[in-house]
Each structure stands twice: as C-alpha cells, then as structure tokens.
Amino acid sequence: MRYAKSHFLLLALAGLLWSCQSIASQPSNPIPVETAALVRVTAVPSQPTAANTPILPPTQPPPFTPTPIPTVTANPTSLLTATPTHTPTATPIGPCEQRLPGDGLFTLVTLTYGLSRDYAPDDLVPLADYLPVGVTLGYPTEVRQMIVEPLVQMLNAMRDEGLQPRIISGYRSYSAQAIAWNKWVTEEPERAAIISAPPGFSEHQLGTTLDFGSPELAEIVGREEIQFHTYFYKTSEGIWLLNNAHRYGFSLSYPREAFELTGFYYEPWHYRYVGVELATQLHESGSFLTAYLLATQPLPCLP
Ligand SMILES: [Zn+2]
C-alpha cells in the first residue's frame, strides 16, 4: 500500500532519467518526489578487458584501518521499525560544525539534512589508478582513499566469480551536483525536482558512495544505453552486491523500505561504505544507514 503511490509515479514518469539520487524536493520540504527508474548519461564505452584478471593497485596504498563505528543498539531488529522523532524544524543539537563528525563516514545525508557547499573530502583519489578500464569504463571517477582497499577487494571477489562489475559514479562535488541540478531546472523545470537533486543533498558528495553497473542491465531493461535502472537488482552483479557487499563494508543506502524515511526511491545500484561491522549489522537486521543514524545518533544541524 505504501508503495502504490511510488509505483504510480514510476509509471507516470517513465523514461530516461538523470543519475541515481535523482530524486529531490526542496530542502524545506522533505516530501519525496521521484522516479528512480531509468537513468543514463553517456554512452557506455567498450566492454571490459579480461574480466577475471586480478585487480591490483599499481602502488601499494596505505594499510586500511577500519574506523570505529558508533555503538550499536542492543536489538538491531528494532531499526526496522525505527521512526525518527524529530521534525525538520527541530532545534539542532550542537554547533553546525559537528555535522561532519570524525571522518564523515557516518554523516547523515537526506533531503532534509544536506552537506555544506564547502565540504569536500581531502583524500580523493582517481579509481583509474587502481582499477582497469573495464571496471571504471574510462570515467574519471574519484573516491576517498580510505575506501579503495575494501572496494578493490570486493571487486576482485566479484571478478573471481566471473562477474563484470562496473562503477558508474563515485564522488560528485557540490558544484558538479549544482551543474546537474541547474541543467534540469533550465531544461525541464517541471520535472527538475523529480529527476535530480539539489546540490548538497547527495551522498556522493561524501566520496564514500558508489553507483555500480552491470553488463546484463541493458538486455534486462531492453534499452542499450541504460546505466541505471531499478532492474539492477535482477542482474548477477546486483544480486551479488545485495548478498555480499556488507562483508566488505558497503551498505545499500536506499532499499525499498527507505523511501518514507529518506525521500529516495529504491536504488539497488547505490552503495555507501560504512565499515564491515555496521554494514553487516544493517544487512542482517534488514535496516539501512539513515534509519540507524536517525534512531541512534544526535540530530545534525540543518543546512
Ligand atoms: Zn548513487
């Protein structure tokens, strides 16, 4: 029942859409409006090279040190029904500089709680330095150095099983998101809030979030140029990630259940690094990061 409206919107708004997290409403109005469905940006370059060639960094990255995670609740299953008790007008707790605690690994990003235009990770690295073009598709994707090792390990595991994971998107700066947003506002003002997100309200600005692709998607969807589609959950790569990504510290940010709480529709391709411990807890409890943060952590300041 709760998804009837979203399904209607999906049908009504069927068509090619902008990239993931392409849903948005005004920051002051967290009511979700979105489609989630098809998105696509540029042509897909040629197929990957030897799919099972081990992916090894050309240089040895610093040892990966898991970051301690917040204390978890005694009963993780309670997260499933956790309901935030705040409203967007709640008094922020603490000064706004606390909105990015620690290394930003657990920063809350929703359509209510956004990121500053000034925020950018200081340890971004190009994935092309660590992964073959068959995985990066030749895109100049960047992520934070801190997630490179678990990411490469996960992709190696997938390729060892004969899969062909692709990375469509990683870090997106505030200004890059602003350009995309302005493009849609100019070209399709009536749909801008549905097919894009205002700058500052995307987890991609954190540099720890990735959008994955699959060579199977185009055939499943029936559109050669498709890169993002909810049917990613049907692909071999999507199935593997759903079942195994947590073992490498990556968590599905927007499962089907996340819509009412996050304002984002189901994005089976969108994973965020939160560390193995928390990712595993979320996976096993059927929860997701936003629900966990709203239920257990002090509210951040409003943007
Ligand atoms: Zn994404």
- Residue 140 CA to ligand 1 center (angstroms) comes to 16
pLDDT digits (tens, 9 = 90+) for 86-112: 333 444 444 555 555 557 788 888 888
300: pLDDT strictly greater than 90:
no
Question: Could you tell me the pLDDT band of residue 54, with boundaries at 50, 70 and 90?
Answer: very low
Q: Which residues have C-beta within 8 Å of that of residue 82, sequence separation ≥ 6?
A: 287, 291, 292, 294, 295
Distance CA 130, CA 264 (A): 30
- Residue 267 CA to ligand 1 center (angstroms) comes to 7
- Residue 162 CA to ligand 1 center (angstroms) comes to 24
- Residue 228 CA to ligand 1 center (angstroms) comes to 9
Q: What are phi and psi of 29, to 5 degrees?
A: -130, 90
- pLDDT of res. 100: 58
- Residue 256 CA to ligand 1 center (angstroms) comes to 15
- Residue 169 CA to ligand 1 center (angstroms) comes to 7
Where does the chain have alpha helices with state H? 4-12, 133-136, 148-160, 174-187, 192-195, 217-221, 236-244, 259-262, 276-285, 289-296
- Residue 206 CA to ligand 1 center (angstroms) comes to 11
3: pLDDT strictly greater than 50:
no
Q: Which domains does the chain have, with CATH numbers?
A: 4-43+94-296 (3.30.1380.10)
- Residue 297 CA to ligand 1 center (angstroms) comes to 23
**Mean of pLDDT values over 272-292:** 96
Distance CA 128, CA 191 (A): 34
Q: Give residue 253's Cα distance to chain centre.
A: 6
CB-count exposure of residue 230 (10 Å: 0-12, 13-18, 19+): buried
Task: Give the tokens for residue 252.
Answer: 């599905």
pLDDT digits (tens, 9 = 90+) for 140-150: 999 999 999 99
Task: Give the tokens for residue 216.
Answer: 């199977």
- Residue 21 CA to ligand 1 center (angstroms) comes to 5
Q: What is the pTM of this model?
A: 0.69
Helix axes 289-296, 276-285, angle to 10 degrees: 100
* Vertex 102: Cα angle to 100 and 104 (nearest 5): 50
- Residue 45 CA to ligand 1 center (angstroms) comes to 20
- Residue 209 CA to ligand 1 center (angstroms) comes to 7
Question: Could you tell me the pLDDT band of residue 137, with boundaries at 50, 70 and 90?
Answer: very high
**Mean of pLDDT values over 47-68:** 39
- Residue 59 CA to ligand 1 center (angstroms) comes to 27
- Residue 210 CA to ligand 1 center (angstroms) comes to 6
The most confident of 60-64, 110-114, 209-213, by mean pLDDT: 209-213
- Residue 66 CA to ligand 1 center (angstroms) comes to 23
* DSSP class of 228: B
- pLDDT of res. 69: 40
Partners of residue 210 on adjacent β-strands: 271
Partners of residue 167 on adjacent β-strands: 212
Q: Which of 70-84, 126-140, 243-257 has the lowest mean pLDDT?
A: 70-84
SS3 assignment, position 155:
helix
Strands 166-169 and 209-213 come out as antiparallel
- Residue 243 CA to ligand 1 center (angstroms) comes to 18
Q: Which amino acid is at 220?
A: I
- Residue 222 CA to ligand 1 center (angstroms) comes to 22
- Residue 74 CA to ligand 1 center (angstroms) comes to 30
- pLDDT of res. 303: 62
Q: Which of 275, 44, 288 shows the shortest CA–CA distance to 144?
A: 275
- Residue 252 CA to ligand 1 center (angstroms) comes to 10
- Residue 236 CA to ligand 1 center (angstroms) comes to 19
- Residue 170 CA to ligand 1 center (angstroms) comes to 8
Q: Give residue 177's Cα distance to chain centre.
A: 14
pLDDT digits (tens, 9 = 90+) for 180-193: 788 878 987 765 66
- Residue 100 CA to ligand 1 center (angstroms) comes to 20
